[in-house]
Amino acid sequence: MPDGAGCGGAWSVFRGDALDAYALWPAPSVIISDGAYGVGGFPGDPRTADGLVDWYEPHVKAWAKHAHPSSTLWFWNTELGWATVHPLLARHGWDYVQTVVWDKGVGHVAGNVNGDTIRRFPVVTEVCVFYRRRLEFPTPDGVMPAKQWLRYEWRRAGLPLHKANQACGVANAATRKYLTQDWLWYLPPAEMMERLVGYANEHGRADGAPYFSLDGAAPVTGAEWARLRDTWNHSHGITNVWSAPPLHGHERYKGNGLRSAPRVHRPGRNAAVHLNQKPLEFMRRIISACTSPGDAVWEPFGGLCSAVVAAL
Ligand SMILES: C[S@@+](CC[C@H](N)C(=O)[O-])C[C@H]1O[C@@H](n2cnc3c(N)ncnc32)[C@H](O)[C@@H]1O
pLDDT per position as a tens digit, 224-263: 999 999 999 999 999 999 999 887 777 777 765 444 444 4
Residue 95, classed as helix, strand or coil, is strand
Q: How far, in Å, CA of 282 to CA of 300, rounded?
A: 17
> Within a 10 A sphere around the Cβ of 269, how many other Cβ atoms?
8
Strands 30-33, 297-298: pairing kind: parallel
Domains of the chain: 3-135+230-311 (3.40.50.150), 137-227 (1.10.260)
Write the burial class of residue 132 (CB in 10 Å: 0-12 exposed, 13-18 middle, 19+ buried).
Answer: buried
**pLDDT tens column, 86-127:** 999 999 999 999 999 999 998 888 777 788 888 999 999 999
Which pLDDT does position 129 carry in this prediction? 98
User: Residue range 276-303: average pLDDT?
Assistant: 94
Does ligand 1 have an atom closer than 6 angstroms to the CB of 101? no
Atom of ligand 1 nearest to the CA of 278: 8
Contacts of 206 (CB under 8 A, 6+ apart): none
Atom of ligand 1 nearest to the CA of 306: 8
Mean pLDDT over each residue of the chain, to the nearest integer:
91
Q: How far, in Å, CA of 278 to CA of 129, rounded?
A: 14
C-alpha 241 – ligand 1 centre gap (Å): 24
pTM of the model: 0.91
C-alpha 302 – ligand 1 centre gap (Å): 5
Does ligand 1 have an atom closer than 6 angstroms to the CB of 35? yes
Q: Whose CA is nearest to atom 4 of ligand 1?
A: 303
Question: What angle do the packed helices 79-91 and 52-66 form, to 10 degrees?
Answer: 50
Contacts of 118 (CB under 8 A, 6+ apart): none
Contacts of 251 (CB under 8 A, 6+ apart): 277, 279, 280
Atom of ligand 1 nearest to the CA of 41: 1
Write the burial class of residue 271 (CB in 10 Å: 0-12 exposed, 13-18 middle, 19+ buried).
Answer: exposed
Q: Whose CA is nearest to atom 13 of ligand 1?
A: 301
User: Which run of H or of E encompasses 150?
Assistant: helix 146-156
Q: How far, in Å, CA of 275 to CA of 87, rounded?
A: 27
Q: Whose CA is nearest to atom 18 of ligand 1?
A: 17
Does ligand 1 have an atom closer than 6 angstroms to the CB of 200? no
**Position 7 pLDDT exceeds 80:** no
> Within a 10 A sphere around the Cβ of 12, how many other Cβ atoms?
14
Does ligand 1 have an atom closer than 6 angstroms to the CB of 40? no
The residue type at 242: W
Q: Whose CA is nearest to atom 1 of ligand 1?
A: 35
C-alpha 303 – ligand 1 centre gap (Å): 5
Q: How far, in Å, CA of 267 to CA of 34, rounded?
A: 20
Does ligand 1 have an atom closer than 6 angstroms to the CB of 198? no
What are residue 32's DSSP bridge partners? 74
